[in-house]
Amino acid sequence: MTVEELYAELQSHQDRDYAAFAARCGMPTPTRPFLGVRIPYLRKLAKRIARAGDALEFISKMPRQYADEYILQALIINEIRDATELIGALERFLPLVDTWGVCDALSPRLFKEDTSLCLKYIPVWLEREHTYTQRFGVVMLLKHFTRDGFCRRHLAWLAELPPSREVDMAVAWYFAEALVFHPREIVATIAENTFSHTIRYAAIQKARESQRIPSVIKEELARLRMEMRAAGSEKRLV
């Protein structure tokens, strides 16, 4: 597929209403145009490109004029099945990610089959100074290690992250996911003062909105939030 053919496909599937909605949610960056091509079509296109066997070459030639191309590249990377090629593609792409929408679109299929490979690199990503590389590390942790692979050592990794809204919200999301399978450990962690008030409050809010967390845990979290309020530790999210 040539660049001209790619742009013809993207432009033929643009959705201005979706583009406006995504812009309000902060998904695309305001620094480049967003056509509003919907994710299901981009996912099909990514699979087609991957099946053609030239995914890495195609990625290297993408001009990235539109925000949609960044999402498409993330979805193409998801289809890479060779470990060396996948890690190389991630290392080249992650520094370019500048929105949560592109970051969260990254979810390599290979990591579902080889969680040890994923876990090997999570600490590396968390130690990077780039906000969205850190967020990607947190998201991989919550997608693959909140159930059977849960470990308190992972909490220590997260506690070392510098404050950043995009990373903090991902950590809160991690807590909400881990609460489903390890409620006692996570409630105890939220009750401690190890993490920022922003993370703790957001984690409680996400958990209370979840349909998968028992009401008894939600009630405990509500009491914890009241205690935080009483102690003057609750802060408004910015």
pLDDT tens by residue, 102-119: 999 999 999 999 999 999
> Stretch 34-62: mean pLDDT, rounded?
91
Q: How far apart are CA 17 and CA 106, in angstroms?
A: 24
pLDDT for res 238: 41
Pick one of 1.10.357.10, 1.10.10.10, 1.25.10.90, 3.40.50.300 as the CATH number of 114-238.
1.25.10.90
CA nearest to 80, candidates 101, 65, 102, 59? 59
Q: How far apart are CA 162 and CA 168, in angstroms?
A: 9
Q: How far apart are CA 26 and CA 53, in angstroms?
A: 33
Name the pLDDT band for 230 (thresholds 50, 70, 90).
Answer: confident
Q: How far apart are CA 101 and CA 164, in angstroms?
A: 16
Q: How far apart are CA 161 and CA 171, in angstroms?
A: 10
pLDDT tens-digit map of 71-96: 999 999 999 999 999 999 999 999 99
> Stretch 15-43: mean pLDDT, rounded?
83
- pLDDT above 70: percentage of residues in the chain: 95
Name the pLDDT band for 236 (thresholds 50, 70, 90).
Answer: very low
Q: Structure tokens of 176?
A: 């909400």
Domain ranges of the chain: 1-113, 114-238
- pLDDT above 90: percentage of residues in the chain: 76
Q: How far apart are CA 108 and CA 50, in angstroms?
A: 13
Give residue 108's Cα distance to chain centre: 12
> Stretch 122-132: mean pLDDT, rounded?
98
pLDDT at residue 210 is higher than 80:
yes
Residue 46's φ and ψ, nearest 5 degrees, are -60, -40
**pTM for this prediction:** 0.91
